[in-house]
Chains A and B, each alone.
Chain A
Amino acid sequence: MTSRVATAIRLTPRVGIVMTMAAFLGLVAFFWPFVVAPGTFGSNYAPTLIFGVLLLLVLCVVLSEIAEGGIDSKALAMLGVLSAVNAALRPLGAGTAGIETVFFILVLAGRVYGPGFGFTLGCTSLFASALITGGVGPWMPYQMFGCAFVGMLAGFLPRASGRREVLLLAVYGSLSGFLFGFLLNLSFWPFSLDPDSSIAYLPGLPFTEQWQRYIAFDLATSLGWDTGRAVTNFVCVMLAGPAVLTTFRRAARRARFRAPVRFAAPPTAASGRR
């Protein structure tokens, strides 16, 4: 059933190295409230902005490296169209009990078209959606980074087929929904609360106390949303997953990504005249 189609975007070893380093930098950029030595930064706004710029730069480097290996026009057009689908789906979910509709296409496309495509699709769909709805801001690098890795890891999931594959993708989708919410909360926690509140970020606290504060904040603000997101992802993938996977695979077969190009010898002058 799972006819292995070629991944849409080739990942060279160099991209692999760059992505590993990007993952490390991403971990630091999200988890800095727990791990950064106190007194490194002046205000609570500064590190968020610094790491936001850093993530943006890292994303630029990774995307440029992916593009250096060559994105053929079919993969690029498919990226654009699927980003448009995601950008159109996104406003449907926003604001209603944390229903998140972006991950649905992202996870399935990452699975079918491979990790490189998933990474790029995560970036482009959030970027396009932010441009259409006027939501460009310092939060965008964090969201793009989170979505890019959700799409990329979907491409690295183990082999499976039939119902097991759909179940695997559904579980992955709901888990990634939880993790995404947890990480994004972490990105604005340090400055979004009054420092005198007892669940706010306080520089210099030991790890366990800081962690307790953050867990309380996460419970109080967004656990309900994240649960909603996880449940929607699960239900969407279980219901529409098989049909969409088939559609994607059919498109991949028809597109024949990275088809080898061979130049035939030009016909001789005599045969051309006949």
Chain B
Amino acid sequence: MTAVARTTVEASAVPSAPSRDRGGRRLPRILHPVAWWVWALALATAVSRTNNPLLLFLVLAVLGYVVTARRTEAPWARGFKYYLYLALTVVAIRVVFRAVFATGTTPRDHFLFSLPHIPTPDWYAGIQIGGPVSLEAVLSAATDGLRLACMLCCIGAANTLANPKRALRVLPGALYELGVAVTVAISVAPQLVQSVQRVARARKLRAGRTQGLKALRGIVVPVLEDALERSLRLAAAMDSRGYGRAGTATRRSRRATGALMLLGMCGLCTGAYGLLDATAPTFLGLPAMGLGTALCVAGLRLGGRRITRTTYRPDPWRLPEWAVAGSGVVSAVLLFSNLGYDPAQLNPTFYPLTWPDLPLVPTAAILLAGTAGFLAPPPSPVQRADAP
């Protein structure tokens, strides 16, 4: 009775502190990682359709809004700015390489300047280095690079927003061992940093050098010994907790799994061969590859039976997950449907040079994807870095 009373008191105390909760009255929780990935990949698909710099900048703005509104304090959530740097690099590389290794300028172009022309030998005739650089060439390289940069940023947003430790649960049962190894790796990595610091401090106390190549060996070996020792202890702990318990797979189902995998791989190889050889019948190409894929997936599903897993605290898939994933998918569908706008507006031409239009329906579609920023529940105010 007292326990019930205590829980009700605690529950009523939660809404009394609204200043910490950025999402109004909604309870903070972590959105299902798959929902964020679906949203981001759908947005990346939508981006692949357009070359319009205005729409692309709008996508970047939407990504920036959603990431700032819904990211946590976890270490992987700080990576978005590196994706932005990477995006800038991509655009710069495109423009520079287009200018230096230039071909495809027409007499109607607006010439900006000319780079010195370097002659290449006859047997290397396909490559041109230097020559005139036109405004159209630079602009087309920049917008094309911007599209690639936007797709990169979509992936970066998914990495920032989705919790990778929870995403590991989506791995199929056949890859259970891989998932365990990666989970071990993620949990051990912080301990390794401590181990390195400990060894370095010990070296310092003995007046040993802590920098330079000689110190490398003095630090690497103790840290590795420590890590390997830890792995043996961990293995003993796993054994004592029942790792390696067999699942429900029988000998027959194991054989069937093997047969499915081998047949599937044969199908994939045949498909790959069909893609290489132009004279091969068409059914050897992508259809054979599809069949092989289906067989392999069936084999993986069947192979998952050799492990029984139970889930501790399963991630729910509720209305916010549907809303976030749906907003991304709907925007991709709108950009591929050509409904209510001229498809030419998505890819404005540079001949003649004009200011690009902002078509209404694609703009609305991209803004719709941005609603994920408030459709998703707010993340919990303090997300511990080592929380699962």
Contacts and interface: CB of A to CB of B under 8 A. Distances in A.
B101 A120 contact: no
B184 A24 contact: no
B63 to A, nearest CB: 14
B266 interface: yes
Interface in B101-158: 101-104, 124, 126-128, 137, 140-141, 144-145, 148, 152, 155-156, 158
Interface stretch (A60-68, A165-173, A178-186, A265-273): A60-68
A137 B37 CA distance: 10
Interface in B34-61: 48
A29 B269 CA distance: 11
Contacts of A18: 261-262, 265
Given A37-B277, A80-B183, A197-B102, A67 B175 contact: yes
Nearest to A31: B276
Q: Size range of the interface on A?
A: 35 or more
A97 interface: no
B103 A197 contact: yes
A197 B268 contact: no
Most chain A CB atoms below 10 A, which of B230, B235, B306: B235
B77 A134 contact: yes
Contact of A68 (B79, B159, B180, B306): B306
Contacts, number: 270
Nearest to B264: A61
Contact of A212 (B124, B141, B277): B124
Contacts of B244: 72-73
A45 B148 CA distance: 10
Contact of A84 (B168, B216, B217, B227): B227
A5 interface: no
Chain A residues touching B, majority SS: helix
Interface in B75-117: 75-79, 90, 93-94, 97-98, 101-104
Interface stretch (B293-301, B323-331, B376-384): B293-301
Interface in B176-196: 176-178, 180-186, 188-189, 192-193
A243 interface: yes
Contacts of A209: 126
Given A28-B276, A60-B172, A137-B155, A84 B300 contact: no
A187 interface: no
Interface stretch (B201-209, B218-226, B314-322, B356-364): B218-226
Given A21-B266, A83-B182, A132 B189 contact: yes
Contacts of B73: none
B180 A76 contact: yes
Given A84-B188, A128-B186, A132-B76, A58 B175 contact: no
Interface string A124-137: 11011001111111
A72 B236 CA distance: 11
A134 B156 contact: yes
B164 A74 contact: no
B101 A197 contact: yes
B262 A76 contact: no
Contacts of B258: 14, 65, 68
Contacts of A24: 269, 272
B306 to A, nearest CB: 7
A160 interface: no
B227 A85 contact: yes
Interface in A132-156: 132-138
Contacts of B14: none
A258 interface: no
Contact of B176 (A45, A61, A67): A67
A226 B125 CA distance: 26
Contacts of B221: 240, 243-244, 247
Given A32-B275, A197-B97, A21 B102 contact: no
A194 B185 contact: no
B76 A81 contact: no
B234 A134 contact: no
A74 B232 contact: yes
Interface string A1-40: 0000000000000100110011011001100100111001
B104 A196 contact: yes
B192 A85 contact: yes
Most chain B CB atoms below 10 A, which of A45, A120, A135: A135
B238 A81 contact: no
B98 A134 contact: no
Contacts of A243: 217, 220-221
B275 A21 contact: no
B184 A81 contact: yes
User: Which 8 A-B residue pairs are closest in the complex by CB-CB distance?
Assistant: A80-B184, A37-B278, A134-B79, A128-B185, A196-B104, A83-B185, A134-B159, A64-B174
14 contacts: A68-B303, A74-B235, A76-B177, A76-B184, A81-B228, A82-B231, A84-B185, A85-B227, A132-B76, A192-B148, A240-B216, A243-B217, A243-B220, A251-B229
Given A134-B159, A194-B98, 4 more contacts: A18-B261, A58-B268, A68-B257, A135-B79
